[in-house]
Structure 1
Amino acid sequence: MNTYSQTDKRTIAFLGLGVMGAPMAGHLAHAGHRVVVYNRTTEKAMAWCDAHATFDVSYAKTPAQAAIDADFIMSCLGNDDDVTQVLLGDEHVDGAFSSARPDAIFCDHTTASATLARELYVLAEAKQLHFIDAPVSGGQVGAINGQLTIMCGGSSTAFELAQPIMSAYAQAVTLMGVSGCGQLTKMVNQICIAGLLQGLSEAIAFGEKSGLDMEKALQVIGKGAAQSWQLNHRGSTMLQNKFDFGFAVDWMRKDLGLVFDEAAKIEASLPITTLIDGFYKIIQQQGGQRWDTSSLITLLHQQDDHP
């Protein structure tokens, strides 16, 4: 396998320019790499290149075209089906696996299933490629600020080469184990977030009904054992009933669906997560599909309005 220094300029394909992928690809360009982007909406890829015209960037019309000369191929897509189409291809698009040169390293930042990650790892090996499942946490703000947390599964050799590249948009990049372990760690992350947000919702609703100054209360408990990213970044907006931003309920339910599929395979019990997923389903039915996940508190406010 090739070796690279941290300061080497590499050719990198970035597949998927959504709210996460676009700023992540931007950090790679700012780091001095040659970046070739692909997006299913070509106009979005063209606009991204215009916004980064002072750097060595270009766009490709297919994933295969983007991957031809790439040392690393990063993808940040929506779900398992999207990853399969973009990497493996179908009747509509030539996949990136079909044109990647031997020893190219794929890093998939999509939150997808561990099963798909393992399948892609095997398929990559058969083509003399390398595949790392590398889902991220930190949301759009983390992507913009280059402060994502990336949890990876795959071979240590490929990871050691890819880690400096991913560090362009991350504060922490960790190899969790063999293929699939990155996705499993992301599932643990989402279970924790769901529980934290429900607890925070109940705490805020309780404090409000008690007559507390909740802005002050959150500042106080944020300095103690109750401190969390969710409290620090969502507590105040929850008090203001602001939810038109952040990680959408639709996305969380997609992620929790992956969790439940995996839990069924390993016979893991998730009673609280199942309950909270049901709350998110109600929010979807009420039109909050794109609200931030902290919108759980709206259900408690509704109970107060209709005792």
Structure 2
Amino acid sequence: MTTAAFIGLGNMGYPMAGHLARAGLEVTVYNRTRDKADRWVEEFGGRAALTPALAARDAEFVFVCVGNDRDLRQVTLEDNGAVHTLARDAVLVDHTTASATMAETLDAACREKGACFMDAPVSGGQQGAENGQLSIMCGAEPVTFERLSPVLAHYGKTVVHMGAVGQGQLTKMANQICVASVIEGVAEALSFARDAGLDAEKAARVIGAGAGGSWQLINRHATMLADQYDHGFAVDWMRKDLDICLAEATRLGTSLPATALINEFYKEVQSMGGGRWDTSSLLRRLRRHRDD
């Protein structure tokens, strides 16, 4: 039986680890909040470990899905981190949306242990994780990707090898640039439709069936029009992701004017108390400006 560890049972990691267990892998989980790990074990079986290092011990594959570079470093490289107990030839797979620099750091640490590394950020949100329909962007040696791709297919609809370590994270940055721009476009379109006296719900449906359609329009227009944002991908996390994108763009000398502007819009949403609102809350920001 294939042994795996899964570190980080948030909105994404919890169902992703569950797919591995349902596929027959022997899974050990770790989460900073122990009761969530215990709840996962009750639902899926396996066992919970007290530290990332204990979770990773003897595992063939170690998956990590946490919040940011700082969290990632804590559960992998610091005291009781997973890297310290990696078995030779094990693979550490990082699903966190993090920096390409952090991917390179983890790759070097894994090599020192005789282990392998893959950066594999995902897109598709909690719904995609629960349904096993994620898009996974992988940076790794070809042989490592070939070894992992059948395992990732348990929760990935699209699993693509982008190139060397770090290329997965760079691809996720491009993904977030697209997502932020699309959400702002949807927010502006819905705001315009309302001000023009259109049935905004009907307009969203007909636009969604044509060239203006997008995942965000189809899946978020109803909650946006209902002014409901207590769900989905939090603004705080998008701000973190866009900061990573903009820092990398500065390093590359790439201009991202729209991304920089939308990042400022999200700062406004945070100042409105919306750090935990879904990223589609850009519409609430627009409506507030209209009403002021």
Alpha-carbon distance between aligned partners in 1 of 2:53 and 2:112, rounded to the nearest angstrom: 17
Q: Equivalents in 1 of 2:190, 2:34: separation in Å? A: 44
**Deviation at 1:168?**
0.8
* Aligned residue number for residue 4 of structure 1: none
Give the distance between the partners of 1:22 and 1:300, measured in 2 at CA.
34
Aligned to 2:74: 85
The 8 Å contact of residues 123 and 136 in structure 2, kept in 1 or not, is answered as: yes
Q: Give the conservation status (yes or no) of the 8 Å contact 2:132–2:156.
A: yes
Q: Report the TM-score, using the length of structure 1 for normalisation.
A: 0.93
Partner of 2:20: 28
Does the 8 Å contact 2:87/2:113 carry over to 1?
Answer: no
Task: Map Cα deviations across residues 103-146 of structure 1 (whole Å, 9 max, x no partner).
Answer: 00111000000001012112211221100000010111111111
Aligned residues, how many? 292
Superposition TM-score, scaled by structure 2 size = 0.98
Equivalent in 185, 188, 195 of residue 202 of structure 1: 188
Give the secondary-structure state (helix, strand or coil) at the position aligned to 1:290: coil
Secondary structure of 2:154's aligned partner: helix
Which residue number corresponds to residue 232 of structure 2? 246
How far does residue 174 in structure 1 lie from its aligned partner after superposition? 0.7
Deviation, structure 1 residue 281 = 0.4
**Superposition misfits of 4+ residues, deviation over 2 angstroms:** none
Q: Secondary structure at the match of 2:153?
A: helix
Unaligned residue ranges in structure 2 (runs of 5+): none
Q: What is the Cα deviation at residue 102 of structure 1?
A: 0.5
- Out of 73, 76, 87, the residue aligned to residue 62 of structure 2 is 73
SS where residue 89 of structure 1 aligns? coil
Q: Deviations over 1:138-174 (max 9, x none)?
A: 1111111111111010101011111111111111111
CA contact (8 A) 2:52 2:76 kept: yes
Q: Counterpart in 1 of 2:40?
A: 48
Could you tell me which residue of structure 2 aligns to residue 60 of structure 1? 49
Kindly report the root-mean-square deviation, in angstroms, between the aligned alpha carbons of the 2 structures. Answer: 0.9
> Is 1:294 the counterpart of 2:280 in the alignment?
yes
AA partner of residue 44 (structure 1): K
Aligned partners of 1:221 and 1:268: how far apart in 2?
A: 32
Answering whether residue 271 of structure 2 is matched by residue 271 of structure 1, we say no
Alignment of 1:14-163 (within 5 A): 14-53=6-45, 57-90=46-79, 94-163=80-149
Identical-residue share of aligned pairs (%): 53
- How far 1:231 moved relative to its partner? 0.7
Aligned to 1:230: 216
1:304: Cα distance to partner?
Answer: 2.2
